[in-house]
Structure 1
């Protein structure tokens, strides 16, 4: 079963966008650009609050997956 985790290998701040990109198998830069554009169009607060909530809700990967690079 496929699970969404914070990225440990492709993160700029907390790994939210990297984790979303890994989950959907897309380029993390594309996810970051979409997130920035949506944040700008929501006058900033919506995207920032959503990022903070995602950072708190999305779990870190289990230790065995971190070592294996899965």
Structure 2
């Protein structure tokens, strides 16, 4: 089972959008565009950046 984590290989800022994209199997660009165009998403992004664990390459 996949676990939602920040991406360690495809990150622009904190890896949140790339981690969400990896979890759902979609393009990181699509997730980034959603975060840009939805006003409340800035707060959600910062919360996820603070609380999502970093993906540990040794476990995967």
TM-score calculated relative to the size of structure 1: 0.77
Distance 1:26 1:59 in 2: 20
Match of 1:25 in 2: 25
Structure 1: which 5+ residue stretches go unaligned? 40-45
C-alpha deviation, 1:55, in angstroms: 0.5
Deviations 1:14-62 (A, max 9, x none): 00000000000000001101111112xxxxxx22211110001111112
Instruction: Choose the corresponding residue for 1:52, options 38, 46, 51.
Output: 46
- Mind listing any 5+ residue stretches in structure 2 that lack a counterpart? none
SS at match of 1:60: coil
> Higher helix fraction: Structure 1 or Structure 2?
1
Q: How high is the TM-score relative to the length of structure 2?
A: 0.88
Cα RMSD for the two superposed structures: 1.3
